[in-house]
Structure 1
Amino acid sequence: MKLRYLLVICGVLFLSNLEAQKQQEDILFMVDDTPVYISEFLRVYNKNLDLVQDESQKDVDEYLTLFTNYKLKLKEARALGLHKKPSYIRELRNYKKQLVQGYITDAKVTDALISEAYDRISYDVKANHILVKVSENASPKDTLAAFNEAVNLRNRALKEGFERVRKEVHNGQTIFGESLGYFSGFKMVYKFENVAYNTKVGGISQVFRTRFGYHFLKVFDKRKSRGEVTVAHIMIANKQKDTINMTPEPRIQEIYKKFEQGEDFESLAKQFSDDKSTASRGGMLEPFSGGQLTSQEFEDQAFGLADIGDVSSPFKTEFGWHIVKLYDKKPIRPFEQLKSELEMRVKRDDRSRLIDEALIEDLKERYNISDHQPDLSYFVSILNEDYFKRTWTLPSDFIANKPLVKIVDRQFTYKDFAEYLLKAQRQMEPRMPFSTIVSKKYNNFFNSQLIKYREDHLEEENEEYAFVVSEYRDGLLLFDLMESNIWNISESDSLDLQNFYNSHKTKYVLPKRVDAIVATSTNQKALKKVAKLLHKGLPVDQIKNLVNSNNTIQVIFTSGVMDASHQALPKGFVFKNGMSKIYSHHDAFVVVQVKEVLPEAQKTFDEAKGSVISDYQIYKESKWVKELRDKFKVTINQEALKKVKLQIKSQ
């Protein structure tokens, strides 16, 4: 899905062009000869009322303006024929294919799998396994050999001990004896997960097959999930920009010593953390659960803190150096809170096959279709060895138009299945009898056509699905229109863009800044000493050696070019050269040596280009909408608008 299309959807607040029911409904307004009904306006207004940030958009008249502008753009998109573009048709088709899955699956089977998944993620299993590798498409001979090898190894493990055999037989090529540690639901393929959770602690499973080969495993432990944890952190990024501190590790150690000396963790985070998204909140992160973070080291450190208020020692991740403080620990969230998330994961997982099988049975019952296969002997007779070489073709006298199977009102012929067979031969498969190939391929063909029939008719049968498809259909049109008319800044816009910049230069300036050294400490006396040493012109490295020691960090320095919003500078800081007074800031004290005050400066066109383009696009769109209002006549039904306002007021 296109990212900018998502922005369109958010920007127009999911406004819909779904045709209203053809009852005696009141028309709210007309765009030329196209009516827009009260019911449609109320539906989208009420749907998006809680989503809007701008209070003006909650005003009915303001919202009506947005809505009519939206309808004008859609009118223009259709007038330009954008709904006929192959790329539009293709993307809409792909979206519908994704969306339809949520509307046609078997709810009972899905719910059972979701419930099972919740039970699985509520516990961690510790297990090791032995795998005899064999391809899914291996010959019967190789498959049997792999199975027998796995059975023999299991028998040895029962007699000699699982771990002894595992370590002895592992060769990393044909046999793998692996220690897996703890894992929970969705961490392994579904078949493997099933066996692991259904094997008792201390037990060795039977041999089972996955797409990797034949396994058996031993379960060593089962424990409750670690649940959810809330922590704050101080981070010093790997790419440290502070010229005084050459590497992040010494800086994080300095900060940690300040904490050990009794300084407040949150205050230190506000002053020094490089994670700008959390620094202002004292380093506080959103709660997370096991497996949710990309950094396993960070997760382990966070969950490793035992008691509320505990703080870790400095540790390193791929992002930099961290100190973590524990604020809260919770068990796994209740089922109802996780249900929708689990549903998405179930449908992406191997267990989705169970959902597909249940769907096929449901559709057969819905459409009163028998499980009985038609006579396929003709197709068996026309297959030959070329099928395994993927060069098979239909015979010249192939019977194309003979009826094969019917799904409700859709008749499929021999030609339809033959074309499926031709495409299916591209797939690498083990050699098997032609009768088996034809039977398997027919089942796949029939099931896919049965699901497609349901998908093709779903918009007629399911009102909610029809609404969602219509929203996307119109949003996609609007994306293409906005991209071609507003977002793409072409060569022809270059001069207009430069002129726009020239006319609005006062908007594009760099704020007043200072090139400064900031010293921070909770010890006001130490800062006075630092101020004197800075005033004398001593290098910062030398000052650090004088005021700090290996065991005590009294002062931390930050340097660079900063504006008034910089986290190191106190509110109300006076921008002037020289040594500042001592300020109180973030539960500590700071003193600033200003090397140079950099005044406000005009940004060049290149420096401001991003902002200029954004502002120009807003200007261009406003002008374009006025042109559309001249092109298409919008007629508001004032009596209908009164009804709308009364209905909204009474809600």
Structure 2
Amino acid sequence: MKPKYVLVTLLFIVLKTFSQESKKVLFTIDNEPFYTQEFLNVYKKNLKIVDNSKTDIQKYLQLFINYKLKVKEAKFLGLDTIQAFKNELKKYKETLILPYLKDKDVTKKLVKEAYSRLKKEVNVSHILIPLKPSALPKDTVEVYNTLIEARNLIIEGNDFAKIAKRYSKDPTVQQNGGEIGYFTVLQMVYPFENKAFLTPVGQVSMPFKTKFGYHILKVNAIRDSRGEVEVAHIMFKKNNVNAKKLIDSIYNELLNKNGSFSEIAKKVSEDRTSAMNGGKLNKFGSGKMIKNFANVAFSIKNEGDISKPFQTQFGWHIIKLLKKYPLKNFEELKDKLTKEVEKDERSNLIDKSVVKKLFEQYNVVVNNKALQQFEVDDWKTNSEKFKQIILSINGKNIFQQKFINYLKSYIFKSPKEVFINFEEQEVLNYYKEHLEFSNPDFANTYKEFKEGLLIFDLLDKQVWEKAKDSTGLLRYFNLNKSTKYNHKKLSNIKSTVISDYQNYLEIAMVKKLHKKYEVKINKLEKKD
């Protein structure tokens, strides 16, 4: 078939006109309509990244038509039905969906909370009794009551450290009496951080749960953030019998300015990892370094000054202060905090907020009779009895068998308890399945990737694979040897010739597509 371009009216394309006609059909390919709005969106999106020759809107329209012809051909060849294509598309879709599973308002609130807490450092002591997530209710009650007992003893005036050593199962409690020291936001699991920042100084919290078990904590002190410091150090390990003598000798050498700190560290420091870099360590803040090392580092007032020799659990050290970093302002840290909040345990609050809104938006119906059957019949041995609809979301029915498959991963919990998570998961699944049809922004991005992937596969099949044919490449080279390549040898310019040959094959393919498919352009009248 020869190309047919049926001009409905005279064309004078301007962006204003396109905006006014955005809902109209711009062109058709074999009667399949393509709308002005899609073209306008793509044109505006690519306006800043294409070269000037392609910003002319009429030329860009031709490129857009060629693009859609390639998509049409890829579908005609069934490239969208190949399993490898489906797998790649599914993988991308799962990644693309992630931002749409976040509640921006809740995220902003948590980011502001994180920055507010970042301004402070809290010193905490705690008592921990581990408890598995699968623990029975009676075990939970026992642990809770034990912590209440310990809490009462502390409130009555008993020393926290002594009570911690008696009750806590934290492996470090015998050394530190339960004291964690100073830390700030995003350094502990969120439930622990919450209790630490919300409990008044000197008070002991009620028992609370984290993924490690149940805790009580006491807030010993709160101070303003010290920011971060960058230091270098020289160290002699504790198992070196001459460590104290050696560190004192080095200290005197530094005081007498008989050598640079960096060069001495490279030569003698037994922390060989930092020694190679002149003793320099990565910058750190509270909670990121052992307590006494951090305290000495932050106590040095002036950049370039050195500490007196001091001892840690690792050996003897001298520290040189390289730089102090005060806390950055909110705008400087906002993006970093957002990323950390979204991957932190507090992101569960964001997820819960999304689910809550979906429950309000969807018609979710639970078949309580079908759910109660799990309390009467044994689903593990008589699963064939479970054939009812257990859940409906906007008319989509979910059967008991699907819930049984979900239950198998939670055999130590009651079906009624597990169903809460199952219901939320199914609502989220429904949202993800229908996002393409309910969210234009997602739909456009997903469509662009899908079509781009199809065109990639088409070009791979019709252009790049064919360009590997040495006979075809040689024929193309010989035809253009005198005019285009100035009689150069193919071996000297092979990569250039291959690239040119690929372009030639793609142009030839597009010409064939224009002959194969009927293109009708509905040209728009200029409006005053």
TM-score (norm 2): 0.63
> Distance between the aligned counterparts of 2:295 and 2:451, measured in 1?
46
Matching residue within 383, 395, 402 for 1:394: 383
1: CA distance between counterparts of 2:404 and 2:260?
Answer: 72
In structure 1, what is the equivalent of residue 452 of structure 2? Answer: 475
Cα displacement (A) at 1:161:
2.6
* Correspondence for 1:465 among 414, 428, 442: 442
Partner of 2:511: 630
Question: Counterpart in 2 of 1:582?
Answer: none
1:138 paired with 2:135, answer yes
How many residues are paired up? Answer: 436
C-alpha separation in 2, matches of 1:619 and 1:324: 59
Tell me how far apart the structure 1 counterparts of residues 135 and 417 of structure 2 sit (CA, whole Å). 17
> Cα offset for 1:54?
5.4
Q: Distance in 1 between matches of 2:144 and 2:335?
A: 39
Equivalent position of 1:537 in the other structure: none
Q: Distance in 2 between matches of 1:303 and 1:487?
A: 61
Show the counterpart of 1:511.
none
Aligned counterpart for 1:406 among listed residues 375, 379, 392: 392
Deviations 1:336-367 (A, max 9, x none): x6556545544433333333443444333323
Q: Distance in 2 between matches of 1:627 and 1:228?
A: 62
**Correspondences of 1:8-23 after superposition (within 5 Å):** 23=23
1:632 partner SS: helix
For the pair 1:419 / 2:402, whether they are aligned, the reply is yes
Give the CA deviation at 1:191.
0.9
Match of 2:160 in 1: 162
Instruction: Give the % identical residues.
Output: 30
Aligned-partner residue type, residue 352 of structure 1 = S
1:115-514 equivalent positions in 2, closer than 5 A: 115-158=112-155, 159-166=157-164, 179-225=179-225, 310=303, 331-334=327-330, 342-367=337-362, 369=364, 373-374=368-369, 376-383=371-378, 387=380, 392-395=381-384, 398=385, 400=387, 402-412=388-398, 416-429=399-412, 437-481=414-458, 503=489
Q: Provide the rounded CA distance (Å) in 2 between the counterparts of 1:121 and 1:142.
A: 36
1:161-205 residue CA offsets vs partner (Å, 9 max, x unmatched): 334554676666597865544433333222111111112334333
Relative to structure 1, the CA distance from residue 341 to residue 465 in structure 2 (aligned partners, 3 Å threshold; closer, same or farther) is farther
One-letter identity of the residue aligned with 1:394: S
Q: 1:73 to 1:180 in 2, by over 3 A?
A: farther
Higher relative contact order (CA 8 A, sep 6+): 2
- In structure 2, give the amino acid aligned to 1:332: K
Question: Aligned-pair distance for 1:417?
Answer: 1.9
Distance 1:303 1:495 in 2: 71
**Residues 147, 216 of structure 2: 8 Å contact kept:** yes
2: CA distance, partners of 1:619 / 1:300: 65
Which consecutive residues of structure 1, in runs of 5 or more, have no partner in the other structure?
Answer: 1-20, 234-252, 261-273, 276-287, 294-298, 314-322, 431-436, 508-611
Matched residues in 1 for 2:227 and 2:59: separation? 46
For residues 226-263 of structure 1, give each alpha carbon's deviation from its aligned partner in whole angstroms, at most 9, with x where no partner exists: 6699x9x9xxxxxxxxxxxxxxxxxxx9xx97999xxx
In structure 2, how many angstroms separate the alpha carbons of the residues matched to 1:312 and 1:39?
65
Provide closer, same or farther for how the CA distance between residues 347 and 72 of structure 1 changes in structure 2, counting only shifts above 3 A.
same
In 2, distance between residues paired with 1:116 and 1:163? 31
Change (3 A) 1:53 1:476: closer
**In structure 2, distance between residues paired with 1:629 and 1:144:** 73
CA–CA separation in structure 2 for the residues paired with 1:188 and 1:148: 24
> Whole-Å Cα distance in 1 between the matches of residues 358 and 130 of structure 2?
37
Contact 2:22–2:36 (CA<8 Å) still a contact in 1? no
1:135 to partner: Cα distance: 1.0
1:191–1:57 CA distance, 2 compared to 1 (3 A): farther
Q: Which moved more, 1:354-363 or 1:204-213?
A: 354-363
Amino acid paired to 2:513: F
Give the deviation of 1:79 after TM superposition: 3.6
Higher mean C-alpha deviation, range 207-216 or range 368-377: 368-377
The answer to whether the 8 A contact 1:227-1:333 is kept is no
* 1:78 Cα deviation from its structure 2 partner: 2.5
Q: Write the deviation string for residues 112-136 of structure 1: whole angstroms up to 9, x where unpaired.
A: 3343233233433333433211211
- The answer for the alignment partner of 2:44 in structure 1 is 46
Q: What's the offset of the Cα at 1:631?
A: 2.7
Distance 1:189 1:411 in 2: 38
